[in-house]
């Protein structure tokens, strides 16, 4: 195992390790204006939601590593304490990348990247019309994390109005994650597209799951079942009764005639197959047979 003390590395190399390790990261496509009202548009992957009441987003325009200069976005939010955070979908990611080019101060990245400026309702910066969700925000605070190149600046901004295009909404007005098709930033030049990688994990029970420690030893110490398998099995309130197990085994005996004589290994493989379809109850009944 490679073990690293951050102070032993140059800032660029440490940053490369961190950005590859902490990935994928959501992208804040931040629109700001300077004191003269000139627009600026830039993406930031040091970004997330930190509160829903009040609704607070945090992103960090870091000082440039190479020369310790600050970015126009940081200068702007310190002067005009407003910002629009636009989310980045797959359909616009190449344009977003183009907008990250370090054009001279005062150049309009909306125009350079081919985006449409859409007037906001409550703040001065424009929204990106092509973004499926746009959030108008007031900057509540900017916290400097250092003075050297690579140091972040936490911009805390409160969402005062959200705009969501209807194409990404379900009938009940909830957001359809697959239709939204967000992208995220990874290390180097890599990005991640959310839509092909979606999978669902049921949240832990509101009651108490039995946990891995309460499982029979032959299940807990299985050479077949993975940690993910055990996590699924542990998220049940109680194990099936002996009567339920017997009824289930009788029901599947035509398909698996030798199930009662199967080894632990064979049962664990079969249970794992049921788990791959999310059928935790059947998996437990096989394991306990």
Rg of the Cα atoms in the chain: 26
**pTM listed for this prediction:** 0.81
191 with 218, same domain: the answer is no
109 with 36, same domain: the answer is yes
Q: Tell me how many domains the chain contains.
A: 2
99 with 221, same domain: the answer is no
* Pairwise CA distance, residues 289 & 287, whole Å: 6
* Pairwise CA distance, residues 156 & 77, whole Å: 10
| 8 A C-beta contact, residue 26 and residue 47 | yes
128 with 93, same domain: the answer is yes
194-243: pLDDT as tens digits: 988 887 777 776 668 899 988 999 998 999 999 999 999 998 999 999 99
| 8 A C-beta contact, residue 194 and residue 177 | yes
Domain assignment present for residue 202? The answer is no
220 with 172, same domain: the answer is no
Q: How many helices (H) and strands (E) does the chain have?
A: 10, 12
Domain assignment present for residue 144? The answer is yes
Please give the average per-residue pLDDT across 186-200, as a whole number. Answer: 89
Q: How far is CA 203 from CA 20, 200, 234, 274, in A?
A: 27, 9, 12, 19
> Tokens 């542990």 — which residue?
234
| 8 A C-beta contact, residue 64 and residue 106 | no
Domain assignment present for residue 23? The answer is yes
177 with 242, same domain: the answer is no
pLDDT for res 209 = 87
pLDDT band at 171 (very low <50, low <70, confident <90, very high): very high
Position 155 pLDDT exceeds 70: yes
Mean pLDDT of the chain: 92
121 with 190, same domain: the answer is yes
169 with 262, same domain: the answer is no
Lowest mean pLDDT among 154-158, 183-187, 204-208, 256-260: 204-208
Among 150, 167, 197, residue at a domain's last position: 197
Domain assignment present for residue 275? The answer is yes
Say which CATH number the domain at 23 has: 2.30.110.10
pLDDT band at 254 (very low <50, low <70, confident <90, very high): confident
Q: What share of the chain is helix, strand, coil (3-state, %, to 5)?
A: 35, 25, 45
Among 172, 197, 222, residue at a domain's last position: 197
* Pairwise CA distance, residues 262 & 9, whole Å: 55
Domain assignment present for residue 205? The answer is no
pLDDT band at 133 (very low <50, low <70, confident <90, very high): very high
The H or E element spanning position 59 is strand 55-59
Provide the domain limits for residue 254.
212-287
52-100: pLDDT as tens digits: 999 999 999 988 888 888 889 999 999 999 999 999 999 999 999 999 8
Among 140, 165, 197, residue at a domain's last position: 197
132 with 251, same domain: the answer is no
CA angle 264, 266, 271 (to 5 degrees): 90
Q: How far is CA 278 from CA 163, 229, 240, 281, in A?
A: 35, 10, 16, 9
């Amino acid at each position: 195992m490679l073990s690293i003390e951050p102070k032993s590395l140059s800032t660029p190399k440490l940053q490369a390790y961190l950005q590859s390790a902490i990935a994928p990261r959501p992208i804040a496509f931040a629109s700001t204006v300077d004191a003269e009202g000139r627009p600026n548009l830039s993406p930031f992957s040091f970004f997330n939601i930190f509160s829903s009441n009040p609704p607070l987003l945090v992103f960090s325009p870091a000082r440039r590593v190479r020369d310790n200069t600050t970015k126009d976005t940081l200068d702007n939010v310190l002067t005009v304490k407003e910002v629009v955070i636009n989310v980045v979908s797959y359909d616009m990611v190449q344009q977003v990348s183009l907008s990250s080019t370090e054009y001279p101060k005062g150049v309009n990245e909306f125009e350079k990247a081919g985006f449409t400026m859409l007037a906001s309702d409550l703040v001065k910066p424009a929204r990106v019309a092509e973004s499926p969700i746009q959030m108008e925000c007031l900057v509540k605070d900017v916290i400097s994390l250092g003075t050297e190149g690579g140091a972040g600046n936490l911009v805390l901004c409160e969402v005062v109005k959200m705009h969501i295009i209807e194409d990404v909404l379900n009938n009940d007005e909830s957001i359809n994650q697959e239709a939204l098709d967000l992208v995220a930033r990874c290390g180097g030049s890599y990005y991640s597209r959310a839509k092909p990688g979606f999978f669902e994990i049921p949240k832990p029970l509101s009651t108490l799951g039995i946990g891995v420690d309460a499982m029979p030893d032959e299940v807990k110490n299985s050479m077949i079942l993975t940690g993910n398998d055990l996590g699924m099995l542990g998220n049940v309130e109680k194990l099936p009764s002996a009567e339920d197990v017997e009824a289930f085994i009788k029901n599947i005996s035509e398909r698996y005639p030798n199930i009662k004589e199967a080894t632990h290994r064979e049962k664990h493989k079969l249970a794992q197959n049921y788990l791959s379809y999310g059928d935790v109850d059947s998996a437990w009944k096989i394991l306990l047979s």
